[in-house]
Every structure is written in C-alpha cells, then in structure tokens.
Chain A
Amino acid sequence: MKKLTIIILLFLLILSGCSSNTNNTSKQAGENSLKSDWKEITAKAKGSKVNIFMWGGDEGINRYIDEWVAPRLKEQYNIELKRYPMDAVEFINKLKTEKRANKKAGEMDVIWVNGENFKTAKNEKLLLGPFTSKLPNFKQYVDTESDDINYDFGFPTEGYEAPWGKVQFVFAYDSNKITNPPKSIDELKDWVKKNPGKFTYPAPPDFTGSAFIRHVLHEKSKDYNAYLNKFDEELVKGEADQVWNFLNEMEPFLWRKGKSYPQSLSQLEQLYKNGEVWMTMGYDEANASNLIKTGEYPASTKTFVLDMGTLSNTHFLAIPYNAPNPDGALVLINFLLSPAAQMKKMELEYWGENMSISVGRLSEQDKHIVESTDRGPATLSQEKLSSHRIPEIGGEYVQWLERGWMENVANK
C-alpha cells in the first residue's frame, strides 16, 4: 500500500512539474497593452513568443509564415513565432468554451478570421478590443475609410480586427476545352446545357459553393444592395425562389446529372484535375496560377469574372480576449501589415494574394514593385478584377441561403 501511495505522489509530482506556467494576469496584460504606446509595446514584446492560429491547409501560406515571416520577426523584434494549424470554427469554439470556463490565460495570440466567425467572436466578447489604431502600419498604409476594411460580411469591424488580405471570387476553366467562357450567370446556364456533365459547384454550406449561389442571387435580385443592410427575412424569402428555380433548372445538366454535388471545393478541384469537369471556381483570384505553378492544374487553365462582377471580401487578423502575449500579437500584426510583408505575400512564390494595404499610400518605389509583380499566367489584371467587384452580404443571409439550398435544391 505504501508503494502505491508513493507511486501516486510521484505521479502527481510529475503532473504538476510538467505544468506550463499559467499567468492569470493575461487579461489585464491585454488591457494594459491597449493603453500603452507603441514604443512600450515593442519593448515589452522583445524576447517573447507569439502563437498564431490559422487554417493550415495550404503549403504556400504555411511556408510564407514559417519561412519568410518567422525568421524576420525573430531578427527584427526578437520575437519567436509559432504557427498552429486550425480551422477558424475550431478556435472560435475553443475561445467560447474558454470564456465560459472563465479561463484567463489562453494559448492563442493571433487568430485569422472573417465573416461569421468574427461576428460570433465579437458578439460573444471573445476579442481583446479595438486595437488597429495602435498599429503604425495600419495608420499609415491602410485605407481606413473604405467599406471593405470597416465591414466584414456586412458587420462593422470597429478596430477589433486588422485586414490581412483581400480575395476575389473567380471561375477557372481549361482553355483547351472552352474558348468562350460565359460572361453572366445566364450564359453559364446556357453553357452548362450545351455541355452536360462538365460543370458543378460544391454543395453549400461549403464556403465556395455558398458563394456561388450568392452570385445567382446577385444577378437575379432586383436590388442586391438591400442585402447589405440589416437582416430581413421577408426580403430574401421573396427573392430566393428565383434562385432555387434557376439552380434546379440547371441541375439535370450538372456533373452526375445533379444527383450529387462535390462535398467541398477540394473535391471539385479534384474533379477538375482529373478532367471530369471543365470548370472550377474559388474565392481566390490567384489560386489557379498557384496551382499551375505547383503543377497541379494544367497550364491551359485560365480564369474569368462575370460582367456584373464577382464577390470579394477581406480577411482579418484578430487578438483573443485571453491572449497570453498581446504585445507580441500587436507587433506581429503590425509586421504583417508592413509593405514588405504584404508585397511578399503577393508573390506567387508563397501565396500570391492581394494586399490589404492600399497601393496609393505606398512609396513610389514600392508602387513600382507592386505594379511589376507577376501574379501568374491565370490571374486577371488588377483593373479587370477591381472593376468587377461586388461586396459580400450579411452573415445571416449567407446562412439562410445555405439552409435554403439544402432544402430546396439538394433534398427537393
């Protein structure tokens, strides 16, 4: 019996010995950082460790953080950066549970969010507070007046998150198989009817599939701008039938006669890579170029936007309420908004994504670099993209449409 007691004691000792040093003062630290000035923040951040939690499914993005950002952050600010792969829904869930358990010191310093996730986080008070006004690079390079910085899927950001990048929805096609890509949703339908089985879209609530049906709404709706305002179920109810009718008319001509849809964008891309379908789509204008470069897409892949425009959105970085190192988080975000980091992000070498800072505010030299950046063979020109841009609608509409699709199109 004595032996057993000793073993148990030893075990407990190991348990407590291994425990990480939790400081319960983290929340206060966060509030303090929001009060201190930039000099103090960088001084306090020196020698610390920052954890960024972000979606980890893209090789290029991961390499950008690990190979380009992390060494520079270490060199310039003596901050150690560690990336943890995790879906936004998952870390918001985690934060919510931590909040409920009243956990003061968390693990996440910076999180990559947008849309619904940000809205939940802000509404449930999972975020540290308005911090963008602290960041020198935000003040200097970001167009603080523009709607795509101040609204995230129709929800005001109010400084709780800092813009990291902008993406635009584009369709991709194999130019060896299609010469004249459609220019509108209606033309797309005609094309699908002429080429049965060669088109499909991911089943909502997949992010991309959900965006696709919003393009249908955009072209069928009498007044799309009405959706940018507060949620009004009557409005969407009145117009949704047209969307369902349109999609149902197209359905018999889709891949597998519309009996099933790809479960995710990755399945659609797989079908495209194998040659089962001739078109794909994605909420990233440079994705096709990226995949041509890595060799996953045929080199004949090109992209197009609709004449009436395609959706675009901004994605953001935020700081959780219980970030263990808020100073380091602020320094990291500021660094990620620097022209150097933003321009590097735009190169196909790593990511190829559009900047969140405004070109007009850059130095002449940087402007020149941006203009000469090669965004890849399949990426449309900046003018073409920015002149065909439509804003995202509120999160409630998005979810309403996703459910509606499942009821009226998938399970009808």
Chain B
Amino acid sequence: MSNGWNEDGWKMWRINELGHQINKHKGLLGILPALLFMLIFFLGGSIHSVTLSLESQPVHGQQDQFWAYKELLNLSFFRSVGITVGMAAAVAVFSGVTGLLAALLLAERFRQWKWLQIIFQLPIGIPHLLSAYLLMQVFMQSGWYSRMAYHFGWIDSFESFPVLVHDDWGIGVILAYMWKEVPFIVLLIYPFIVKLISDWKETAMVLGGSFFQTVRWVIVPILLPMWVGGMWVVFAFTLGAYEIPALLAKTSFGSIPVMAFQEYSQFGLERQPLAIAMNLVLAAISLLVGCLLIYLQLGWYKKGRRVW
C-alpha cells in the first residue's frame, strides 16, 4: 500500500467527519419542534393541573393549600389505590401475555389466513366508552351470551348465567379492557414478529430449531423492550381511564378514576381540586412504575438480554 492512498483516505475521512459534524447538529434540530410542543402543552398542562390541585377551598374558611391531599390521606383511599393499581397491573399483564400469544398465532398462520389480522384488530377502532357499553350488552346476565347459553340449553334462567358484569372480582372490567388492549398489543408487535420470523426462518431451519425455539431465542429477546413498553402503556392508560370501571365494576369497587370523575362532575366545583389531586397521585404511580421498568431493563441489557 502506498502512502498516497493513506493521505487521500485521511482527507476523505476529514471531509466526511466535517460533514458529519455539521449534519449531526442539523439533525438535532429535528427534535426541537416536537420537544417544544410537548414541553408547552404536556408539561405546561400538567404543571397547571398541579397548581389547580393546590387551590385552597373557600368553603372551609381557612386557607389550606394541601387540603385536597390531606383529604386523600385515609384508609379507604389507600385501599382504592391498591385496587386501581392491582387492576391496571392485571389488565396490563393479561393483555400483554394474551396479545403476544395472539400475535404469535397470527404470525404462524399469516400465510393462510390474511384476513385474520383484520379481525384481531377490529376493537381498536372502538372508543373505550363504547366498548364498555358493547361488552355490557353481551356479558350481562340478560345479555347476548346468556341468551345463547339459554338457546343451547345450558341455562334455564338468566340468574344461572355467571355474573360477569358488576361482579366481585372485576372480571367484567378486565375482560372489557382485554377486548380493547389485546388488539393494541398485537398491532404493536405483530409486524415485527412477522419480519423476525421471515428473517430467521432459514437460520433456524439450518440449526434445526423449532418455531418455539425461534420465539424464545430471537423474538422475545428482541421484542422484549417494545412488548414491556406496550404493557406499560396499557397499565398507564388503565390507571387513568374511568369509562370501563364506571360501567362494568360493582358499586363499591373503588376505582380511583371513577371516584375522581364523580368528584369532578357530581359533588360541586369546589371539590375539583380533589379530583385533580387523585389523578396526580395516579400519574405519580405510573411514573414510578415506569422508572422501575427502565431500571430493570438496564439491568437486563447488562446481563446480555437473557430472558429465562
């Protein structure tokens, strides 16, 4: 190799590097509009909400900025926090696992039945309030499924149909959420699963691996961050949404979004800070869970992405 090549190469590299430097900063500009937008509207809105929750209550006379939070310091609210978080976690985990399973099944069959994708994604188009309404129509004791059971001769009165709506364990709520969120998880991960399977199929065949081994060694490790992220999204959403528990949970269930909605809309305007404070507590919980997940993920990367 002659010296000349080296010099040319070095020059080329210098020019490239320079261009790269410029492009690097130019590229960074791309994030500014979106970042500014979020800062102004999301953070701005949230901070404004915090100030609203600290509004002192004129009715009680004395100025107490934290009255809303103080009012939340009681056993029944803590119980409600437990129930709400537990329910959101259950919804997230069930939807995540079922969604992964459904996406894998779809990917296994996608050559034969292409229209299956559409069926598996239909519920995405229905707003939560409507899906709550829709599922109530089928799951209630005098609903459509109970009528089918009656016509099949499995039950002879609607009282013998299992209680799925307004039940003790929130089964109806979880089912309704799964109806909405499983398709979401499928939508999120399915395209990548299909791509990974087609990319790895030959390798796996050569190495003699089965479909399930591909899932274990390829798909899950690569998709895990996205999958867990999807579950976190579901968790955060479920934590804050009131429609489904309002319609499908039993009266004494104690879901916080429902309580907040009642405070916000039914018990007079002076109690609104309380509703906002409740929502802020939920937001804080979601944030905490998120930090925990990120921490776990970093550890997982360090350990070399081992799943089990």
Q: Is B252 an interface residue (CB 8 A)?
A: yes
Chain A residues touching B, range: 20 to 34
**Closest CB of chain A to B244's CB: distance in Å?**
11
Q: Are B163 and A256 in contact (CB under 8 A)?
A: yes
Q: Is B307 an interface residue (CB 8 A)?
A: no
Q: Are B251 and A203 in contact (CB under 8 A)?
A: yes
CA distance A410 to B140 in the complex (A): 20
Q: Are B252 and A260 in contact (CB under 8 A)?
A: yes
Residue total for B at the interface (Cβ-Cβ under 8 A): 25
Number of A-B pairs, beta carbon distance below 8 Å: 55
| Residues in B neighbouring A203, C-beta threshold 8 A | 251
Q: Which residue of A is nearest B147, CB measured?
A: A274
Which of A64-72, A88-96, A157-165, A326-334 touches B?
A88-96
**Contact bitstring B18-49, A, C-beta under 8 A = 1, else 0:** 00000000000000000000000000000000
Name the one of A87, A259, A267 contacting B247, with C-beta atoms under 8 angstroms. A267
Q: Is A261 an interface residue (CB 8 A)?
A: yes
Within 8 A of B (CB), among A276-298: 276
Q: Is A56 an interface residue (CB 8 A)?
A: no
Chief secondary structure at chain B's binding surface: loop
Q: Is A85 an interface residue (CB 8 A)?
A: no
Given the interface pairs A260-B250, A411-B76, the reply to whether A93 lies near B269 with Cβ below 8 Å is yes
Q: Is B267 an interface residue (CB 8 A)?
A: yes
Chief secondary structure at chain A's binding surface: helix
Q: Is B262 an interface residue (CB 8 A)?
A: yes
CA distance A276 to B143 in the complex (A): 10
| Residues in A neighbouring B76, C-beta threshold 8 A | 411
* Contacts A205-B262, A402-B266 supplied; 19 other A-B pairs, CB < 8 Å: A87-B265, A89-B265, A89-B266, A90-B265, A96-B269, A120-B269, A205-B267, A260-B166, A263-B246, A263-B247, A267-B136, A270-B140, A271-B142, A276-B158, A402-B267, A403-B267, A410-B251, A410-B252, A411-B254
Name the one of B142, B262, B272 contacting A275, with C-beta atoms under 8 angstroms. B142
Q: Are B251 and A205 in contact (CB under 8 A)?
A: no
**Closest CB of chain A to B87's CB: distance in Å?**
16
Q: Are A399 and B267 in contact (CB under 8 A)?
A: yes
Q: Are A399 and B268 in contact (CB under 8 A)?
A: yes
CA distance A90 to B251 in the complex (A): 23
CA distance A260 to B136 in the complex (A): 15
Q: Which residue of B is nearest A123, CB measured?
A: B269
**Contact bitstring B152-179, A, C-beta under 8 A = 1, else 0:** 0000001100010011100000000000
**Closest CB of chain A to B247's CB: distance in Å?**
6
Within 8 A of A (CB), among B223-272: 246-247, 250-252, 254, 262, 265-269, 272
Q: Are B140 and A274 in contact (CB under 8 A)?
A: yes
**Contact bitstring B105-137, A, C-beta under 8 A = 1, else 0:** 000000000000000000000000000000010
Q: Is A136 an interface residue (CB 8 A)?
A: no
Within 8 A of B (CB), among A76-112: 87, 89-90, 92-93, 96
